[in-house]
Every structure is written in structure tokens, then in C-alpha cells.
Amino acid sequence: MIPVKGFAGQNVAVLGLGRSGLATAHSLRDGGAHAVCWDDNPAARETAEAEGFTCKDLRKQGAFDEIATLIVSPGIPHLYPHPNPVVVAALDAGVPVDNDIGLFFRSFADSSWDNFDTLPRVIAVTGSNGKSTTAALIHHILTEVDRASQLAGNIGRGVLDIDPPEDGSVVVLELSSYQTELARSMTPDIALFTNLSPDHLDRHAGMGGYFAAKRRLFAEGGPDRAIVGVDEPEGMFLAGQMSEGPTDDRVIRISVDRKLTGPGWQVFARKGFLSEYRKGRQTGSIDLRAIKGLPGAHNHQNACAAYAACRSLGLAPRVIEAALHSYPGLPHRSQIVAEAGGVTYVNDSKATNVDSAAKALSAFKRIRWICGGLEKEGGLGALNTAKDNVAKAYVIGREAAAFALQLDMETEVCTTMAQAVERAMAEAQEGETVLLAPAAASFDQYDNFEQRGEDFTQEVRARLPA
């Protein structure tokens, strides 16, 4: 655990008592602060009280008297679409609002580092798609080369719940826009931006606010090195803002759309081959096509990002290449759950928006596609660009019929996962892929995308020969 610094003897309010909220309360207590907790859910309050914390209704008049700051869990809105009443009360009382990411960065370093030969490093990964895979891939590579590494943030452990760092160790953080938009302190050594596509637009009042939340990791943090995907205009703009000129290798540009040129530092993938160029010369190359855990161009972008981060730490290209081959992939992200009768079954339940689903569809040929759920803003038109890869779509969800009408391909309304899997498996032929890539949120039928992916996996395996 990382004890929170700077609040010893003070009252700090904690709003939201899920995983990150409870970890924050414990870290505040370890740092000598008194955590004053609140959650609208009585069960969450009971859990906190059982662990020795004081719960106080922060919605009541005078609740923020003698409170030093308010720490807000990521899922609680503080501005758009409507700020939580507790956040409004804090701001009205002049109380600063922060989150666990801000507390982590202000508390991570301590005096024990004076005895380290190599200072610990923090790599922070953000973007719309590929954050989890990129962060997990960096952590995997470091682990494979016996470099102490911890994976935290939006994946793995809560940021304040990790172990104190060792000499030369690395903390790899996956950070969502919900986390970057509010943190008052962000000082990663390496900041990484994968890509940008529409998501969480109600929370950020549109694409501009969404990009601004991501950009804060770079603008507020001033990382020693910025790794930026430049396949969208926002990434190009961000890379330009971070760079002092064409030869500034503090910025590494990455792409899967084109070959990058110039005297700077670039990593890109074309036709399945990763290339690294520095000062106009090629310094590394990896054939990604045979790496089973990283199928498709979207995963090749993740490989470029992870490669660039590990090269920034001084790892050699061949060392990174060997580690890429042993990467098993993450659950619910292009995860091969079965292969039988010449058919491959892939769980990409994490493809919760149109862009990530389109990338999944482009990664495979001859697809029996299971899709649908709680549709997000923007429509489904972009999915039709990959229709040549789809033999048929099997649509699930409460609004399956309306979802299917937007697809320019053969569809079958199945509604339930069980029916979709049964129909797709019955019609799948040798050489085809049965792919779950919903292009929608899961909340109309499931608690989360993990539960949806597990349901798909169970339905597939239950129907395979013993």
C-alpha cells in the first residue's frame, strides 16, 4: 500500500466506496489522515464501517466543515452531464476535489529512494481503445525480462493498493478519461496515448471534452517521454504540442496506418511488420503476424505502443520480440476461448464501442459475428466498412431488432447469448471465426462486459464435443 502524504491529522472526505474508494480510505489512514466516508449504497457503508472507517452523509448542510479535500471515485460525475450533489457541496464550501490518481502521484516517492541505484519509473497509458492490452503487454514484457513491475489503475490493482516500489522497478498504469480528468497531480515518467474514438461523450460533454481529459495526462504531467498514436487528428495535434521540433526524440510517434518518416523517433506497423526508425534509420523490426496473442491491426498498434515504452526503458528489440511471442492475451480482448472443427471462437466482449468492434472485425476473415447490447451515441455506420469479413451477424440485446436494422449485412435477431451462440455454431464452417465483438455496452443484459464474455465462453464450451 502507498500511504497518502500531506494530510496527516486532517479530515479527508471519500465519496464512493468501491475498490478504489476503500483502498483510498486505507491509504489515507496509513498516512495519518482521518477518512470521512460516504456511499449512497448502505451495503458499501457497512463494509467501510466494518473496516473501522467513519461514514457521514456528505450531502447534509455543514458536512464539509473542517474537511481538507474530497476524493471522488472515478464513476461519479463531477461536471457533466450533471455534477454529483456531494461534489457541488464541496466546491461550494471551497474544498478541493481530487481522486486516487492525484493522491498516488503526490505520495509515490519517499525518502527510501535515496538509497536506490535506479529510481522507480511510472508508465501511464491512456486513450480510447487498447489501453488495457497495451498496459498488460508492457507489464508482461518487463516481467519476462525479470524487471520488477506492477500493473495498476483501471486494470490490476488500485493505484494506492500496490506495494512500495523496489530499486529500479516500474509501475504500469492504465488510466481512463474518468481518472485523468480530475487528478490534481500527474507526473508519469512515460505517458502513452493510444488513439481516440467517440466514447463517454455524455460524461465529457462531447469529443472536445473527452480529448481534453486525455490530454491532461501530458499537459499537466510533463512526462520525460511521450508516446503518441498519430492515426487520428487529435494524436497528431498532441504529438506536435509535446515536441520542440522534428528531431525531438522525447516524443515517439506510433502508427498502424502508414510509414512514419522524418529525423525523429517513430514506431509503426504495416502489413504485420513492426518497424522502429530513429534519426532516419531503421533500428528494429519484428514480424507480428505469427504472434497469436496479438491478432489484427488494432493489436499491432498495441504492440507498437508497448514496444516504444520498453525501448524507452532501454530494452533491446530482440528481447522485446521474444517477450511478445509469449504474451497470452487478456480475457475478453481478442481472447481465443476454443478451437474445434476448424472453427475459432474469439471473445472480444471488451469491444464495447463501434471503433473497437470494427477493429476486431478487420482482424479476422469469414466471421460469424455476435453483436448487440446497449447502443452508444453515434450510430453503427462505421461497422459496415468491415462487412466483407462478416458471413452473418447474430444480434443480441433488448433492442436487437433495432440494432440489426442498422447493419448492411445478413443478420439474425437472436436476443439472447445462448441463442446467438447456438445459431452461429450451427452455421459456422471450417476456416471461419465465431466472434463476440458487441459494439455496445452490456448493461441491458449483464452487470459488465466481463460477465457477458464469460457467458459467451460458457455457452461455446458447453456445446463443444467432450
How far is 292 from 314, CA to CA, in rounded Å?
25
Q: Is 133 annotated as a binding residue?
A: yes
Of 269, 186, 181, 201, the residue nearest 229 (C-alpha): 269
Bridge-partner residues for 275, per DSSP? 268, 285
For 390, the grid coordinates are 462478416
185 marked as part of a ligand binding site: no
β-pairing, 190-193 with 121-126?
A: parallel
Residue entry with cell 470521512: 36
What would the grid cell of residue 348 be?
A: 472480444
- R_g (Cα) of the chain, nearest Å: 23
Tell me if 129 is assigned to a ligand binding site: yes
Residue 106 has a CB neighbour count (10 Å cut-off) of: 18
Residue 442 and residue 451 in contact, taking contact as beta carbons nearer than 8 Å: yes
Q: Which residues of 256-290 are buried (b: 16+ CB within 10 A; e: fewer)?
A: beeebeeebbbbbbeeeebbbbbeeeeebebebee
Q: What angle do CA 454, 460, 466 make, to 5 degrees?
A: 120
Element (H, E) at 427: helix 417-427
Residues linked to residue 237 through DSSP beta bridges, in sequence order: none
- 128 is known to lie in a ligand binding site: yes
Q: Is 52 among the annotated ligand-binding positions?
A: no
**Residue 411 marked ligand-binding:** no
Q: Which amino acids are annotated as binding site for ATP, given as ranges? A: 127-133
Q: Which amino acids are annotated as binding site, given as ranges? A: 127-133
